[in-house]
């Protein structure tokens, strides 16, 4: 037994020594890819799992346990025609295998290399729903004309029961009567508006200086019920020579998406506390880099 252990140890040592001498290596060439993120806007079911199921491992991000009104970061995904399935996440069901196998959707989509996409689980999962759960896949065409003192904001409407909406934007957090023309008008459910250029908010205000967003039916000045006065909240961080800027309303030449979400369905597995429609702000991209 001792002899065998000694021989095994010597063999392992020779392998390590051999590896130590081979330091040339081979550079990994990243293949052209799309950049994707996933948003859960389904308001009547458990958290969801997003998976590519076409046999490709590389370039196939898997998103697990994505709760209603949450989103994932952008990740690279192999371009071309891809097969996607959405499953029930089993965490709320003692991780039962039968639950993990429950499919919500099975679909294919062709992603273009070097393009960015927001993929939204949209509608409701229950039989008989007016808008059944489907994927809305939006190509993220970033703004190209922002100045150093502007941010770009677009709306994605993910609350189908609300119908078309107008979006009003104000620089004051104080509730006030809605007046004037909407900043973004007549945004349809399942659609994305163009990017609206807004002045970047001043840095260092106390309280932090953000925007207030109000949603109404087209032509109305009565706000649709929201979770609170919907402050933009996403401030961002200016860039330095050691760090690129982080997206936010106080950082010029950044792009932001405001997603309109519905309320949770009472009695469903969606979070019960989300009782009114609201907006969530997604960081799209800082268009400038400051690192050397």
Q: What is the mean pLDDT of the chain?
A: 87
Whole-number Cα distances in Å, 79 to 30, 54, 71, 107 = 12, 12, 21, 15
Residue 291's pLDDT is what?
81
Measured distance CA(119)–CA(74) in Å, rounded: 10
Q: Is 218 helix (H, G, I), strand (E, B) or coil?
A: coil
Contact 159, 261 (CB under 8 A): yes
At residue 117, what are phi and psi to the nearest 5 degrees?
-135, 140
Cα–Cα distance for residue pair 158/275, rounded to 1 Å: 16
Share of the chain above pLDDT 90, in %: 60
From start to end of the chain, where are the E strands?
Answer: 33-40, 48-52, 63-66, 70-71, 75-78, 80-88, 103-111, 116-122, 134-139, 150-157, 165-170, 184-187, 196-199, 212-216, 230-231, 254-261, 278-286
Q: Report the CATH fold assignment for 31-140.
A: Immunoglobulin-like (2.60.40)
Q: What is the mean pLDDT of residues 200-204?
A: 86
**What was the pLDDT predicted at 174?**
72
Rounded to two decimals, the pTM is: 0.86
Q: How many CB atoms lie within 10 A of CB 144?
A: 8
Least confident of 69-73, 200-204, 278-282: 200-204
pLDDT tens figures, 235-262: 899 899 899 999 999 999 999 999 999 9
What's the distance, Cα to Cα, between the start and end of the chain in Å? 59
The contacts of residue 67 (CB under 8 Å, 6+ apart) are 40, 47, 271
Query: pLDDT tens digit string along 170-197?
Result: 887 777 788 899 999 999 999 999 999 9
Nearest one of 43, 81, 48 to 62, comparing CA atoms: 48
- Judged against a pLDDT cut of 80, whether residue 10 lies above it is answered with no
Sign of the C-alpha dihedral computed for residues 133, 61, 115 and 251 taken in this order: positive
Structural domain boundaries of the chain?
A: 31-140, 145-292
* Integer CA distances (angstroms), 261 to 14, 66, 96, 157, 264, in order: 60, 15, 29, 7, 9
From the list 287, 292, 224, 280, the residue with the least C-alpha distance to 67 is 280
């Amino acid at each position: 037994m001792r002899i065998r252990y000694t021989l095994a140890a010597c063999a392992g040592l020779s392998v390590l020594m051999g590896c130590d001498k081979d330091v040339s290596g081979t550079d990994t060439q990243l293949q052209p890819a799309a950049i994707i993120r996933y948003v859960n806007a389904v308001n009547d079911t458990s958290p969801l799992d997003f998976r590519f199921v076409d046999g490709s491992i590389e370039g196939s991000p898997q998103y697990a346990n994505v709760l209603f009104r949450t989103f994932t970061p952008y990740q690279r995904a192999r371009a071309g025609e891809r097969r996607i399935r959405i499953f029930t996440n089993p965490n709320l069901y003692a991780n039962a295998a039968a639950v993990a196998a429950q499919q919500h959707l099975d679909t294919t989509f062709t992603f273009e290399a070097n393009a960015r996409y927001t993929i939204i689980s949209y509608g409701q999962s229950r039989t008989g729903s007016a808008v059944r759960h489907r994927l809305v896949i939006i190509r993220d065409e970033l703004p190209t004309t922002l100045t150093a003192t502007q941010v770009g904001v677009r709306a994605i409407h993910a609350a189908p029961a609300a119908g078309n909406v107008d979006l009003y934007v104000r620089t004051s957090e104080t509730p006030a009567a809605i007046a004037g023309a909407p900043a973004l008008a007549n945004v349809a459910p399942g659609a994305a508006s163009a990017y609206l250029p807004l002045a970047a908010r001043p840095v260092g205000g106390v309280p932090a200086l953000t925007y207030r967003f109000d949603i109404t039916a087209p032509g109305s000045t009565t706000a649709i019920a929201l979770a609170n006065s919907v402050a933009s909240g996403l401030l961002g961080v200016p860039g330095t020579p050691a760090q690129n800027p982080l997206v936010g309303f106080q950082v010029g030449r950044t792009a932001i998406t405001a997603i309109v979400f519905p309320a949770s369905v009472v009695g469903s597995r969606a979070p019960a506390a989300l009782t009114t429609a609201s907006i969530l702000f997604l960081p799209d991209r800082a268009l400038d880099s400051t690192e050397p």
